[in-house]
Structure 1
Amino acid sequence: MSQLFIGLISGTSADGIDAALVEFPDPGHARGLRLRAAHVQPWSPALRERLVALGQGGAMESLDELGRLDVQVAQAFAAAARALLEQAGVAPSQVAAIGSHGQTVRHRPSGEAPFTMQIGDGSVVAERTGIATVCDFRRRDVAAGGQGAPLVPAFHAALLHDAGEDRAVLNLGGIGNYTLLPRGGHAASAGAELAVRGFDTGPANALLDAWCHRHTGQVFDAGGGFAASGTVDAALLERLLDDPWFALPPPKSTGREQFHLEWVQARLRGGEAPADVQATLLELSAATIADALRAHQPGTARLVACGGGVRNPPLMRRIADRLPGVAVESSAAHGLDPDFVEAMAFAWLARECLAGRPGNLPAVTGARGPRVLGVVHPA
């Protein structure tokens, strides 16, 4: 029998809560799934501003503030799920579970006491929706020595692996991250899973959005027009690329706490035109994305892109220009709405958790082994 799951995520950009209602026709496989409905729930401006500040390394005022934000984020996630169900005409009783990513406010997977923190209390989501809610997907992987990210490669492998060509799946969210899918075998076989790799590449949209907001008041550079109006500053680009993080080998992950406007500001010499900085930040994203693919899977024939950056033609064009011989295309060419692939992935992760199946790929995250991810809050 087919099952319905909801996936909820607000990514690094915190530009809204993506909600996806996913139908899985087969309890053991992902292929053949269908996106039944999708919805984007906007954040209240004040809450978004606070979440972005925390994600960039801002200090928490108190434990009381953390507690309030945990509940406020959960309330917003629950509202997104309810709006999605109303739009789809589906009753909560028809949904097996919600997979709720929550909002990352700190990600420190290295050091003496590695941790990752996503807020959005799953108990509140379950209580307000009447649907079992799975959350806290990343912490078990970090506890097992992994990066806790990226988690979507297992989902990408289940849907987009092809035995005839080397593929890469690129998520262009606030941070760019790859899933590398080498040809041969079958994605469901142990050998192919071990060959799947994934890692963050650095900023994709996060810096572009933040710089655009500072200088235009718009939360993102619609269509890439602001960047297209500027000229790449080669010297600034070199200074940006010189950050040691880009030279780190996988597994690796990052976020706003590493790449934020203060990081950009420290590399400016003064007097740069805002549009030129925007153009340079776009080139930084394209360069690091292309360099990473050439370094780690040079035989890639096809790059399948998803996430908000797909809607930025200059960014997609520069990635393609830097990867001659690689077919660069949207996940829409494979029947997957690029705006909701990650939300669909967390619906899948919730299903895997309830089935007692691992959701991580140790070769991707660096964890000591496969782990069932997520904490279940019953309806």
Structure 2
Amino acid sequence: MAAQALWQPGVIQYLSYPHGPIPPGHHGPLKARVTWRPSGPNTPHPRQVPLQPDAKFYLFSELPLEIRLKIWNFASPPRVIEIRSWGNNIANRFRPVKFSTPPQKPPIIFRINHESREEAVRLYTVVEIGISVSILDPSRQYVDWKLHSMNSYRRRMHFFHHDVSNLPLATPYPAQKTYINFCRDTIYLGPEFQSYHLESLLTATGPKMELSGLQYLAMDKKLWTASVDARWHMGHLRAALYSLRSRPIKEIYIVTDDLKEALPDKFYYREHEITLHDAPYEYEYDLSDKGEKEKTVVQNLEGWFERLWKDKDTEKEAPKVEVKSVRRDGRSLSSFKDGIWEVQKVMGGMESWKSWTPADEAHTL
């Protein structure tokens, strides 16, 4: 488990900053003058405040129906639902793709009594995670995994020039069904969600459209700082974020301190609770000798959404952007400051985003 960096709040740090404008007269590696300040108690998001475990109430069955229903609502607190993905279909178009969620149980109000279950059915929707890759696409060829080139244990077969036309057809991975309350739950694309699946997940339409009611979306820092060709990645990231305009998105979170290396042995195969907390630190920085403040990645993203979400006919509000700190079963996994500064460096001043329009994407990919 990574330890928090030994930085004192409120002090100025001079940190490397490879992107952004070079100040006049500057020589050598560019450094940013960064000021960190604590942002207050590290509390869960207001929608995720847990119930008191010792709370009791008597004569519940004698309460009016309206009050009982409100209590069932309180008994279904917001959750963070992580989505993972496998299969690099960019490098190999025949490789299987799969979306899934970690092991989890339905909300408890499904399992209390008949009345609570009726309210649960009203609150939650059964959503198919992975529907976009589980539908058989007639324009693609599918290879049985037993014969797949990416499977090191495949049956050895010899076919001329990789001719796959006569191989057995493989059925795509089935979608995984889960209960989601889009008004409360946050969908989290964590460190096990691959960056090359981001656009296909969010831009799907028609019968392949997933998460149609998405309101709260969290994305691990890896999806903002993917170690692929920067121009290719930024183009697909912009397309994915712009596609959220077709959904009732309200808030987008940048999660900076999750850790993929902690998942296999601690949190990969067993049920565990994921919570998102307010950022423990805020930061300001400048790249010039004059001490002029630069905009953070959050401010730049909010400006980008505001520009593209303007619509006189629908009056659609742009989503709010925030930085969040993650906990798995209450545990902190890595350095919050390191994570947000990594996102800031990679995204830079977002100069190429400021004049971007959807029509430009064909020229950037």
- Normalising to structure 1: TM-score of the pair? 0.26
Q: Which has the larger radius of gyration?
A: 2
- Normalising to structure 2: TM-score of the pair? 0.27
Larger helix fraction of residues: 1
